[in-house]
Amino acid sequence: METMVFGYCDSGFFSNCNIILTHIINYFNQNKKLPNKIITYKMFNIYKTHPEQDIYNLIFKNNDNHLSYDKEIKFNEEGFENQFSDYKLLNLSDIQPIFKNYFMPNQIILSNVELLLNKYNINFNEDICGVFFRGNDKIKETQKPPYNEFIEKAKQLKESNPNIKFIIQTDELEFLNSFLIQFSDTIFFEEIPAISNTSNTNISRILKNDAKIRHVIDFVSIIYIFSKFKYLITTSGNCEIFITFYRNNTDNLFQYLKKNKYIHGGLNKDYNEVDNVWY
């Protein structure tokens, strides 16, 4: 098979991306080469303004499909589902060539990144800590951190580095307000609004049709910006692992991970009862 055709998928943006990345890595391991072409227009359905829209090719640069096979590529040696694994154990150097071939942002995203950096006066040379908290319906897949866990971690960083600045991105309004009470000068990207805590949905699923593409461009831009910060306090999931892939390192990364015993109605094969929640 020279062409990979991806089927219908209406999960979150970076869930779609992780599906693509996983299948391309499996293809590469089996065939010792990359596919000549990938067809993705059936994916990213909750972000489309019309059925035939190809969201993937709207966001990412065209790839060259050339990569020499040297060895089998694994996300990690443990075999855990990668979004809920310890990111410090990811084989980032092995994954990076395939990741860069398929998921580098195009000029639309890079131009928007510059607009956001200018709007919020963000300088990557400063000591910035990104705080990424994915709440709401993610509780169906993994345990949500108590707000004070993230706030205490931020306080510890602030004590060790009084000059640190916080930039937060969260889909959960209550967490945003709790964090702002403690760190009132925190920057929040208003382009992706938070919603009141719910276990049934997230902001992506309640977008009006004319706001969907703008949402995708802003969200991917923010994920890319977060990958450039010196420090990162984060939950675990597809968005967070893609921030890590863009970073291509786990330096100064503080990852909260506590797995559910059951996930999507079935037993989670990766569940364990460890007390540690910070990785």
The alpha helices in the chain, defined as continuous H runs, are 13-31, 55-59, 92-102, 107-119, 147-160, 173-182, 212-226, 238-247
Mean pLDDT score of the chain, rounded to an integer? Answer: 93
The closest of 105, 62, 56, 68 to 246, measured between CA atoms, is: 105
Rounded Cα–Cα distance for residues 235 and 231 (Å)? 14
Residue 264 scores a pLDDT above 60:
no
Fold of 107-267: Rossmann fold (3.40.50)
Residue type, 71: K
The kind and range of the H/E element at 254 are strand 253-255
Residue 108: its pLDDT value, please?
98
Residue 266's pLDDT is: 64
Counting residues of the chain whose pLDDT is more than 90, the rounded percentage is: 81
pLDDT (0 to 100) of residue 259: 76
Please give the average per-residue pLDDT across 187-202, as a whole number: 92
Asked if pLDDT for residue 220 goes beyond 90, the answer is: yes
**Bridge pairing between strands 37-39 and 3-5:** parallel
pLDDT at 183 exceeding the cut of 90:
yes
* Residue 235 confidence (pLDDT): 98
| pLDDT tens sequence across 89-136 | 999 999 999 999 999 999 999 999 999 999 999 999 999 999 999 999
**Mean pLDDT, rounded, for 192-210:** 90
CA distance 184 to 126: 18
How confident is the model at residue 262, as a pLDDT? 62
- Per-domain boundaries in the chain: 3-102, 107-267
Digit-coded pLDDT (tens) for 151-174:
999 999 999 999 999 999 999 999
28-45: b or e for each residue (b if 16 or more CB lie within 10 Å)? beeeeebbeebebbbbbe
Q: What is the pLDDT of residues 23-60, one digit of tens each?
A: 999 999 999 999 999 999 999 999 999 998 999 999 99
Question: Residue 21: which of 108, 106, 81, 71 has the closest Cα?
Answer: 81
**pLDDT (0 to 100) of residue 271:** 60
Dihedral of alpha carbons 93, 71, 19, 87, sign:
negative
Distance CA 172, CA 193 (A): 9
Query: What pLDDT digit, counting tens, does each position of 235-255 carry?
Result: 999 999 999 999 999 999 999
